[in-house]
Amino acid sequence: MQADDVQVAAARVWARSEGRQMARRIDDRSRFPRAMNARLDELLELDERILVAIPGTLGSGLAATDRHVFLWKRGAMQAYRLADLDAAEFSTGLLEWVMLRGPGLDPSRPSLGNVGHHPNAIQTQRLSEAAKAELQRLVAGHGDRGAQPQGSPCEATLQEEELLCTACWSRVSAPPDSPGFVCSACGNTFRWGRCSHCRSVDQLPQAVQATHRWRCAFCGLENRERRAPAPTPVTTAERAAELRRREMLGGAEVRFLGAFTIFGSTGFSVPASAVCSLECREAVLRIRVEIGAADVLDLPYDEIVTLETEGGRYTTGSSFFGGGFGALGALEGAGMALLLTKLSQRTTTNTVMRIATTSGEIWLHHGQWTPQEVRIVLASLWARYAGSDKRTKETGAGVPDSAVDVLTKLADLHRSGALTDEEFAAKKAELLARM
């Protein structure tokens, strides 16, 4: 076949493809994934029909009606009221996408590296001008602003879940089907991830998507997400269920720090070498075992008598120095010496935390945070401990320094006549029995 014949055949194939593209209706949902169509059937009301259907890459899609815009991405559906959207933005060229804009949505424009994970945008291919115009008309006109029927499927989906942003410790909310959220307090974008070790649902920065490697905030162990096939997305509803299981929603603020290891304990029935997290609650310090047995130990602040942290960050290894003849040789020698120094040195973090109460003692180790960083994150723990210690000294209650001091005080009371012989003997026997 001659070169001219090949060009003619290619032109005919392109023309047929372009003709099918132009002839396809803008409300045709046949190119949507089967799971997306099934979810749409559940959410659409009886008198609601799809006016714009935009299929995206990697199994994504966007469907718009006269009341809502549905965004399907990574196996999860997000539903938006048209009245809550400000605009629909499009991009053409090498990277083609459609993005929804509105209050509380991620305002950043998608890029080649994050369009697949952008919470309110999908990547498209050869989007027709008619679909663009119709979607812009619907969003600009805000569709039908009439009240929705009570109890409709979409109304139940649009009710947002209460959340706790662990980056700024603010209370926020997000749709239950969304794979992440934009914090209205700190302005950052986050997604959810399920730890493969402790199975907890963690909050991750959106930038973690590029590396596919992250550490769980609860157990501190490293996770590596597989790239293909893509992992099942974790939804906001699962994150809210995780926070409710940990009793972090509602009531007073709860600060926590994970990745601790129990060195040992006396007086407490907690497993040694277990991975745990510390939760600073209103009245107690809660130690929660993250992997293995679901043990929880509550230590009231007014019973804590000692709270200490020691350790730091240490660098071990050799230091190399290099040089050479001339400016170029000196630079090469210095660079080689710096590289050898970096390869031979290793930095480790060791923080030991000791908590003693009237009932026992427990030692914890943290291998990622220094003692100063632990005190900053758990500042409320030290503040409540200091407050309870001050109240104990003011009331004269607490743990005596030693049994000798107690016996001395009892003897003084006995000599002064405040205690009878029988009362003194009973108190003395009670003290000796506890020793």
419 versus 373: the higher-pLDDT residue is: 373
* Domain annotation covers residue 359: yes
**The predicted structure's pLDDT at residue 122:** 92
Which of these three, 120, 153, 186, is where a domain ends? 153
- Say yes or no to pLDDT of 394 above 70: no
Verify that 62 and 197 share a domain, yes or no: no
Verify that 259 and 306 share a domain, yes or no: yes
Residue 417 banded pLDDT, cuts 50, 70, 90 = confident
Verify that 313 and 348 share a domain, yes or no: yes
Nearest-angstrom CA–CA distance, 85 and 88:
8
Three-class SS state of 173: strand
Q: Which of 95-109, 248-262, 307-321, 353-367 has the lowest mean pLDDT?
A: 307-321
**The CATH number of the domain where 341 resides is what?**
2.30.29.30
Verify that 203 and 293 share a domain, yes or no: no
Overall number of domains in the chain: 4
- Tens digit of pLDDT for each residue in 279-306? 999 889 999 999 877 789 999 999 999 9
* Domain annotation covers residue 250: no
Q: Which of 177, 172, 215, 173 is nearest to 193 (CA)?
A: 215
- Say yes or no to pLDDT of 324 above 50: yes
Three-class SS state of 51: coil
Which of these three, 153, 169, 190, is where a domain ends? 153
- Tens digit of pLDDT for each residue in 157-200? 457 889 999 888 888 888 888 888 888 888 888 889 899 899 99
* Domain annotation covers residue 146: yes
407 versus 16: the higher-pLDDT residue is: 407
Verify that 143 and 173 share a domain, yes or no: no
Verify that 348 and 410 share a domain, yes or no: no
56 versus 8: the higher-pLDDT residue is: 56
Nearest-angstrom CA–CA distance, 43 and 63:
12
Integer angstrom CA distances of residue 266 from 113, 259, 284, 354, 379: 52, 21, 19, 12, 25
First to last CA, the chain: 102
| Cut 0.75: pTM above it | no
* Domain annotation covers residue 324: yes
Nearest-angstrom CA–CA distance, 73 and 106:
15
Q: Which of 235, 191, 228, 209 is nearest to 58 (CA)?
A: 228
Which of these three, 245, 274, 292, is where a domain ends? 245
- Tens digit of pLDDT for each residue in 96-152? 899 999 887 888 888 876 777 788 899 998 888 889 999 999 998 864 444 444 444
247 versus 211: the higher-pLDDT residue is: 247
129 CA to centre of own chain: 39
Nearest-angstrom CA–CA distance, 408 and 394:
21
Verify that 194 and 220 share a domain, yes or no: yes
* Domain annotation covers residue 29: yes
**The predicted structure's pLDDT at residue 203:** 93
* Section 380-409 average pLDDT: 64
Verify that 289 and 164 share a domain, yes or no: no
* Positive or negative torsion for Cα 397, 399, 405, 406: positive
Verify that 328 and 430 share a domain, yes or no: no
Verify that 324 and 391 share a domain, yes or no: yes
Verify that 374 and 291 share a domain, yes or no: yes
Chain mean pLDDT for the chain:
79
* Domain annotation covers residue 35: yes
Integer angstrom CA distances of residue 178 from 72, 330, 421: 10, 56, 73
* Section 200-218 average pLDDT: 82
User: Rounded to the nearest 5°, which phi and psi values hold at 162?
Assistant: -80, 135
Verify that 302 and 426 share a domain, yes or no: no
* Domain annotation covers residue 80: yes
88 versus 339: the higher-pLDDT residue is: 88
* Domain annotation covers residue 427: yes
Residue 226 banded pLDDT, cuts 50, 70, 90 = low
Which residues span the domain enclosing 276?
Answer: 255-395
- Tens digit of pLDDT for each residue in 241-283? 999 999 998 777 889 999 999 988 888 888 888 999 999 998 8
